[in-house]
C-alpha cells in the first residue's frame, strides 16, 4: 500500500512536517527505487540520533510510501502526542516486558496489510564512539520470518549534525546535509529451505547479516572503512570502553 489514501491527519502532518524538513535539511537520497512501490516491506535502519525518524520518514515518503515506526510506548502515553501517533498509524513498543510481543504482532499485521514498517534493530541510538551501528536485536528476523516481506537495509548519515547523542547538543541549522541510501533487499531465502522453524541461532545470523549490510551502506556514505564485526556484547572493539 502506497500513500494514495493518506486521510486527513496524515496529509496534515505532511503539509506541516515536509516544508520544515526541506528548510532544515539538504537531502541526498540514493536508492529510492529500492523501496518497493507497493506491498509489505521491512525497512531496517541505523540509529544515529533522535533526529533519525524525521529524516527517515522524509526519505520513505519521497519513495512513495507511508512510514510506520516502532516507537517507545512512553511517547504514546503523552496525551496529545499519543493520540496523534496512533492516528498516524505508528506502533508502540513497551520494551523489556511481555507486552513487547504485542508490538511485533502489530508490526506483522501492518506488513501483512501491505505497509512499510521501519525498524531500528539496535533499539536505541548507537553507543559506538564513531557512530557506527551496534549489533541488532532479533525482532527484524522474527518479523521477516512471519511475513516473508522484503527486508531493505537503509543507512543514513547527517542527522547527528542536528542532534548529536554524544554531546546531547541540538543544533537545528538551515540546510543541514543529510544522506540516506537504501540497498537491495537482503536475500534470506536460504533460511526457509529446510522447512524447519527458525532457530535462535538463525535469528541472530539473519540479524547480523542485515545489520552488516546497513553498516556497509553507511561506510559507502561516509567514504570510510567500517569497524570490525561486533563482539558478543554488541559493541565493536572500538566502543568497548565507552560507558553504556
What CATH number labels 29-164+180-189+197-237? 3.40.1130.10
pLDDT of residue 148: 95
The alpha-helical segments, DSSP class H, found in the chain are 7-24, 52-62, 73-77, 79-87, 100-112, 139-147, 200-222
Predicted structure pTM score: 0.88
Per-domain residue ranges of the chain: 29-164+180-189+197-237
- The 10s digit of each residue's pLDDT in 157-211 is 999 999 998 898 999 999 999 999 999 999 999 998 767 788 999 999 999 999 9
The whole-chain average pLDDT of the chain stands at 87
- The 10s digit of each residue's pLDDT in 90-106 is 888 766 555 556 678 88
* Confidence grade of residue 3 (pLDDT, cut at 50, 70, 90): low
* Confidence grade of residue 238 (pLDDT, cut at 50, 70, 90): very low
Higher pLDDT: 66 or 85? It is: 66
Task: Please state the rounded mean pLDDT for residues 232-237.
Answer: 54
Reported for 223-230, long-range contacts at CB under 8 A and 24+ positions apart, including other chains, are 226/132, 227/128, 227/130, 227/132, 230/134, 230/135
Amino acid at each position: 500500500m502506497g500513500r494514495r489514501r493518506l486521510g486527513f491527519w496524515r496529509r496534515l502532518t505532511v503539509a506541516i512536517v515536509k516544508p520544515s524538513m526541506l528548510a532544515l535539511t539538504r537531502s541526498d537520497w540514493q536508492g529510492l527505487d529500492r523501496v518497493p512501490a507497493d506491498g509489505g516491506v521491512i525497512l531496517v535502519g541505523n540509529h544515529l540520533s533522535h533526529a533519525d525518524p524525521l529524516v527517515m520518514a522524509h526519505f520513505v515518503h519521497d519513495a512513495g510510501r507511508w512510514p510506520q515506526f516502532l516507537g517507545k510506548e512512553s511517547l504514546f502515553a503523552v496525551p496529545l502526542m499519543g493520540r496523534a501517533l496512533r492516528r498516524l498509524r505508528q506502533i508502540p513498543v513497551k520494551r523489556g516486558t511481555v507486552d513487547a510481543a504485542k508490538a511485533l504482532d502489530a508490526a506483522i499485521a501492518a506488513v501483512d496489510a501491505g505497509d512499510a514498517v521501519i525498524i531500528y534493530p539496535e533499539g536505541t541510538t548507537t553507543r559506538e564512539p564513531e557512530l557506527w551501528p551496534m549489533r541488532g536485536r532479533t525482532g527484524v528476523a522474527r518479523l521477516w520470518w512471519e511475513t516473508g516481506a522484503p527486508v531493505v537495509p537503509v543507512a543514513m548519515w547527517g542527522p547527528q549534525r542536528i542532534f548529536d547523542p554524544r554531546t546531547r547538543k541540538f543544533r537545528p541549522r538551515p540546510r543541514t546535509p543529510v544522506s540516506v541510501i537504501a540497498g537491495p533487499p537482503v536475500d534470506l531465502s536460504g533460511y526457509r529451505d529446510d522447512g524447519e522453524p527458525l532457530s535462535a541461532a538463525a535469528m541472530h545470523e539473519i540479524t547480523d547479516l542485515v545489520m552488516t549490510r546497513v553498516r556497509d551502506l553507511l561506510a559507502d556514505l561516509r567514504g570510510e572503512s567500517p569497524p570490525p564485526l561486533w563482539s558478543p556484547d554488541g559493541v565493536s572493539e572500538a566502543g568497548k570502553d565507552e560507558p553504556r
